[in-house]
Chain A
Amino acid sequence: MRETDPRSIAGKIPAPDRHVPLVVVGAGVAGVAAAIEAARAGVEVVLIDEHPVDNDMMAMDVPLCFGQRMDGSVRNRALMLERVVESNPELASAHEAGVDVQLGTYVWGAFVNGPAVQELPAPMLGLADDRRSWLLGYDRLVVAAGARDVLLGFPGWERAGTLGAAGAAALLTRYRALAARRLLVLGSGALGLHTAALALDRGVEVAGIVEVDARVRGNAATAKTLAGRGVPFFPSHTIRAARGRTGEIESVVLVAVNRDGTPVEGSEREIACDAVCWAVGLVPSVELLHLVGARIRFVGALGGWVPDVDARMRTSVPTVFAAGDCAGFHQGMLTEPDVALAQGRLAGLAAAESLGARVPAETRRAVAATPFATAEVHGHWRAWLDSLIAAGGWEVNICQCEEVTRRELVATEPPRYLKWQSPQMSARSVTTLLRDGPLNQDQIKRLTRAGMGPCQSRRCREQVGLLLARAADTTLDRIPLPTFRPPIRPLPLKVLWPADEPAAMREEWVSWFGIPTQFSPHWTAGMAIDEPTAHARLILSDE
């Protein structure tokens, strides 16, 4: 006869609060297109997006790097909701198509059964707003989560005013709440040029575009237009430091670099600005794809770790699709919004069809992936990192949350608050770890704490990876993808907790297994520390 252990999780995870055939995460170009196509094909769709994001979260650089440059209006939630809706007219079309649009809603987890989890009644997402959390079950999932910012550290980057291009773009467009007057852009590809143009269009002065390469990257005509609008370009330059008398950036020091990335001494120039925006690249947001177990691999030309997808954007998990920037980001996509759009439509249709919806042949034909040219991007990031190290040195925080410097990272030093010193420890470093096998970012995170903070490594993931690759004399693709764990948004305990729990969850809760003999003193064999239960019949011999 099969018994059930009442202290086990069996039967205790309730069905999700709601179940829908299709959930689309992300209401950017790709997600909205996916949702509309599926809804038109007759599928019930919930479309979720976190914007407008809570002000406290923005202050932590979550989900994008906003660099503390939000103006006071972001505190007005109703106004922000209005602006987010206004900035995305397609949302109205989605609504009209019958899509259930849920804004201001974080997807903080994705839970699926797998080799070590068999007790979930259905695949489900963990959702939350700023007050409470709930669970949403799905049959199909389209992840259209966009891309994240990539930041690199320089002396003074902890000061308010260091943004990422996606964060800056969100503040300029969706929120119309950028509190900066003079922005300096780091990186000159399509992303940098776009960011500068966007800033100018929105009345923000551009203090310059800095590029470590000898030539300006990106479209020459766009660059020329920007120059015509008075934007200075600084090719063969890097940033040496950001300055400010308070906690705010008031100016930056640029320095010219030689071909090998070393600074040209005496070439420093100080430039007044109140914001610095990293625009060297974005990385696909693969957190949710990782959590559902989709196969993810490194593609240098698509921003890094991306899901394997087929021609119709289906991942290796047959019920999960990926579209838009999260399926692979290349700067060319900024000038080709059709790429994300087409991917979204493909994914939406494929998901709908896999649910049994009938899609007319002409619709199917009309939706095709837009091809785009790509090139490896991480060599450029590495050139930036090398120049920053040469110009700014090793005593620069790489992880702001945990205050870990570049030097401490490669020396695998224990965190400063331990005040630990020993000759043995001093002899250890990334170099000695390399003798034991390939470097693993999660392992080094555990030792140094780089990436362990409340921003959930949004500001340091890529630079830690790059620095480890540099120390190991290898490339970023050789450093395994550091894991993502729920909650993928830092949410308060009182938001995450469930208002009600199944009675069995509360009544049978034990801190550890509830095996009556497990903690019984060995000198009193058989005496139980735990409250004895009906389950105390442990079979040690055949009865």
Chain B
Amino acid sequence: MMADMAGTSGAAVVIVGGGVTGLSAGWWLARAGVDVLVLEKGIVGWEASGRNGGGATHVYSPFGLEEQRLWPQMDELLGYPTEYQRDRIGVALSEAQLALARRWAEIGETRGFRWELLDRRQLKELVPNVGDNAIGGTYLHFGGHANPQRTVQAYAWALQDLGGRIQQFTTVTGLSQRGGRVTAVETSRGTFGTDVVVIAAGPQTGAFADMLGVWLPLAPARVEMIATEPIPLMRVGGVAGNGLYGRQTLRGNLVYGGGPHEWINVPDMATPDHANTPLVRNLARRLAELLPGAAHVRLIRSWSGLVENTPDGLPVIERLARPDNVVIATMSSVGFGLSPAVGRAISELVRCGRCEFADLGALALSRFTDTPRDWRERVGWAAVPSAVEAAAGGDA
């Protein structure tokens, strides 16, 4: 099946981007015996995939059931630990928060999962650090969370164990096309011939779509998280609420994010430096409100990560019609939890052109055909032009 390979460094399938999406896809392909090569411009999982909240509770998604089915098996399937933990507790400090938590629970219920409504007393029994400001909560006997950094490395190592290859510090700069197909990817380290390309480049996915003449509206944004020193393990680590997502790690750290995002531009293949803002203080406050019993705990780290959103906030996962040997996958900022399932879907798209276990209709690119090019400005998702861009006279 090796058509037109440039040298020996190519592969049957070349994946652009070593985040969870690309790595999981590569792992599933390698499991199916496909010769696969992942090209990553930095270190695997250095971007969103290693910086997220680790949440794996997306039962609303077409991949939701597969997400819930796969996670409990991932450690064993991969051979490396992901720190996956099941169940989630939603803490509500107001009626509005409780209504939102219930909505999540009820969506799960419609898919056959079990949950309980907790009153304040029950909630405090389960999570002693919540305070009298809590009015109640939900206990989901589904969903869960894992350690993103461990998971990324687990995918990468498992993929290599199956004979797949990963080449780090290799930036993909272009796609060579001939006869309506992509025949090779051009990189900072030479050209790699291929039969099929999977583009899973996070915020840069849009730039690749552009190269292929495909319109993929994406708006990159920066979001922040904080982590505390470890505290004794709570019975359920998946405690969130008060506008925060996150978890207690198995080490005991409280790791949470939420709040306002910043729309930015990612003008080229280089991902801009991840900085934090004084928002870390507001996150600290939200966390202390969520768990007043932990208000004295020390914050020891913060970080930010970049995610990309489509206009409706839903992923795009599609095998293009033309060129017909390209699969595009962008998770629209909710891709960690879904990654085991999404990788499987991509693998099926690569191997047989369609996904057997989930209906990808809602994620098709065609839904954006009429989206105007200036959609970011229209919905208020445009970045403030940076000083550099402003100086260059651009009014992007």
Chain A residues close to B by CB (< 8 Å): 1-10, 12-13, 109, 111-120, 124, 126, 133, 135, 291, 293, 402, 414-415, 417-418, 420, 422-425, 428, 436-437, 440, 443, 446-447, 449, 452-454, 456, 485-487, 490-494, 496-498, 501, 505, 508-513, 515, 517-522, 525, 529-531, 535, 537-542
Contacts and interface: CB of A to CB of B under 8 A. Distances in A.
B258 A116 contact: no
A505 B259 CA distance: 8
Contacts of A491: 298-299
Contacts of B276: 109, 111, 485-486
17 contacts: A10-B262, A13-B277, A114-B275, A120-B277, A120-B278, A414-B81, A452-B301, A456-B301, A492-B298, A493-B298, A505-B260, A509-B243, A509-B286, A511-B245, A513-B309, A519-B104, A530-B100
A124 B278 contact: yes
A5 B81 contact: no
A379 B274 CA distance: 33
Interface of A is mostly: loop
A117 B222 contact: yes
A421 to B, nearest CB: 10
Contacts of A6: 380
A417 B229 CA distance: 16
Given A114-B272, A117-B222, 19 more contacts: A2-B377, A5-B380, A8-B261, A111-B275, A115-B388, A116-B262, A116-B306, A117-B277, A126-B278, A126-B281, A424-B79, A437-B168, A446-B150, A492-B296, A535-B380, A538-B311, A538-B312, A539-B371, A539-B378
Given A8-B261, A511-B244, A496 B380 contact: no
A496 B288 CA distance: 10
Interface of B: 43-44, 50, 58, 60-62, 75, 79-81, 83, 96, 100, 103-104, 107, 110, 149-150, 153, 157-158, 161, 166, 168-169, 221-222, 228-230, 240, 243-245, 250-251, 257-264, 272-282, 284-288, 294-304, 306, 309, 311-314, 332-334, 359, 362, 367-368, 370-372, 375, 377-388
B85 to A, nearest CB: 11
B150 A485 contact: no
Contacts of B314: 517-518
A537 B286 contact: no
Contacts of B312: 515, 517-518, 538, 540
B379 A119 contact: no
A111 B251 contact: no
A454 B298 contact: yes
B245 A512 contact: yes
In order of increasing CB-CB distance, the 10 nearest A-B pairs are: A518-B313, A3-B380, A115-B272, A515-B313, A497-B285, A424-B79, A5-B380, A9-B260, A446-B149, A541-B370
Q: Which of B169, B263, B367 has the most CB of A within 10 A?
A: B263
B387 A440 contact: no
B104 A501 contact: no
A277 to B, nearest CB: 26
B158 A424 contact: yes
B229 A490 contact: yes
A268 to B, nearest CB: 37
A447 B153 contact: yes
Contact of A511 (B243, B300, B303, B332): B243
Contacts of A511: 240, 243-245, 257-259
B311 A492 contact: no
Contacts of B161: 424
A519 B273 contact: no
A498 B285 CA distance: 7
A527 B140 CA distance: 21
A12 B75 CA distance: 41
Given A417-B250, A443-B43, A453-B229, A492 B295 contact: yes
A404 B149 CA distance: 17
B169 A437 contact: yes
A486 B313 contact: no
Given A414-B81, A537-B379, A497 B157 contact: no
Nearest to B298: A490
B273 A293 contact: yes
B370 A540 contact: yes
Contacts of A116: 222, 262, 264, 272-275, 304, 306
A119 B203 CA distance: 20
Contacts of B362: 522, 525
A7 B282 contact: no
